[in-house]
Chain A
């Protein structure tokens, strides 16, 4: 496994060049350029804010917008990493067929690409929060969200890798993941707040939702404003299960890689 990671490290120039290319090509020759990747979540957020901020929010549209945009950004990252990442082997088949690079760089290519889009949206969130709270100290939430984000990237890489290997054997996997993602969007507190479910005795739905675990350790510190001892303690406590879940996913991905890395090329 360490040999595999060392090979990924050796391939870093190749990987980063391709990530950069993906970013540039996605909105090439469009007027807004990379702004398109922001436009989608921002437009969604605007609609949500107009329609739902009275229903789900606490009456403050800027606060609700920051809540919805951060949720959408993290959700889109997790969803795209899983669904598009699991098609990575098919998309990079020509590289796979001529070079013995570790296959996990192709899922990482997809995950890192989506990460950049998520980070752009999260920057907008940070600005919204600073405006909303009227306190530049609220920006201190940004570094506090980083551990959660890093764990989310590792977990997304693991899920994309597992998905990609399974997808090579069963092509239905990526379709299945899309259906799961569609359902997950409504089961995860993205546009509504979790207390809406808690009040109706449905908090278990959120507790068993892995996407919500990652979302809360990224979104909560961003939205909390200037950190206090209490909020730091709560964040630390919330990070423990997230780290455990990430470790479990990485272990599973490592197992899948060890098991299938030498078999998958015969099934592409």
Chain B
């Protein structure tokens, strides 16, 4: 049983205008004078209510900076809620920032291990999968050399192959469908569909509205860290297009 239950969830960043507060700043400014480096509260998410059960496919849309990625990270448990509650049951697989966190000096093979462990695999469970991951990445002998020598596309391939080699119950995806060259993209899309079929619950952030319409059972439209509207995919996407372009989208012949 996989489930997501967000209750009035808020994530607030307290960012300083200058990035760091030094001890001197803290002692001198904080105690004796008014701070020249005030704390800015950034409400990355506020008052999010979302609930999903087995079988749900949730699409998240909205402008850049609307809080879509933050929402995914909050779901993954990377950002703890500053207010409200988060409840996610099931093994989470998250596909975001997938090219981050490679050990640059280690070989491709080693990085497969680290990231698989990071995703909760064990040495025994990974042994059965590692050849499949290597084969899917098509990197061949390049896997023996250090990752710092890889091109961006090769990193993407490797990251995608590792990240999708799990059997997730809750799948969180942040616009990673465009990976690598054309041949790999097609393979990647097939793998994504397979993964989406296998996962019990999925949350996907995408700007490709057609993907959202095709795949999702429920769409969440976000703006400025809040949920503006959620519900039936076609309804919400149409309204979103209307709000952004100012025109009603063409009536669709086939109602999904």
Contact = CB atoms under 8 A, between A and B. Distances in A.
Given A13-B123, A14-B117, A94 B21 contact: no
A96 B80 CA distance: 12
Interface stretch (B101-109, B179-187, B209-217, B233-241): B101-109
A101 B100 contact: no
Contacts of A176: 23
A95 interface: yes
A171 B16 CA distance: 14
Interface of A: 10-11, 13-14, 17-18, 21, 25, 28, 94-101, 169-173, 176, 261-263, 265-267
B120 interface: yes
B100 A172 contact: no
5 contacts: A21-B103, A98-B94, A98-B101, A176-B23, A266-B12
Given A14-B118, A95-B101, A170-B21, 20 more contacts: A13-B117, A13-B123, A17-B110, A17-B113, A17-B117, A21-B105, A21-B114, A94-B97, A95-B118, A96-B78, A97-B100, A98-B76, A98-B94, A98-B100, A171-B20, A172-B24, A173-B23, A176-B23, A261-B80, A267-B14
A21 B20 CA distance: 31
Nearest to A99: B118
Interface of B: 12-15, 20-24, 26, 73, 76-80, 94, 96-97, 100-101, 103, 105-106, 110, 113-114, 117-123
Contact of A98 (B26, B96, B103, B120): B96
The 8 closest A-B pairs by CB, nearest first: A100-B77, A14-B117, A262-B80, A94-B101, A94-B100, A172-B23, A13-B117, A170-B23
A217 B145 CA distance: 44
A99 B78 CA distance: 6
B78 A97 contact: yes
B22 A170 contact: yes
Contacts of B97: 94, 97-98
A172 B22 contact: yes
Nearest to B79: A265
B110 A21 contact: yes
A98 B78 contact: yes
B80 A265 contact: yes
Contacts of A100: 76-78
Contacts of A25: 105-106
A176 B14 CA distance: 25
B23 to A, nearest CB: 4
B182 to A, nearest CB: 27
B101 A169 contact: no
- Most chain A CB within 10 A, of B76, B77, B94, B105, is at B105
Given A18-B114, A25-B106, A13 B100 contact: no
Contacts of B78: 96-100, 265
Nearest to B92: A100
A10 B79 contact: no
Given A98-B78, A265-B80, A21 B22 contact: no
Nearest to A267: B14
A245 B100 CA distance: 39
Nearest to B99: A94
B107 to A, nearest CB: 10
A28 B105 contact: yes
Contacts of A94: 97, 100-101
A4 to B, nearest CB: 13
A17 B114 contact: yes
Contact of B120 (A10, A96, A172, A265): A10
Contacts of A262: 80
Contacts of B106: 21, 25
Contacts of A171: 20, 22
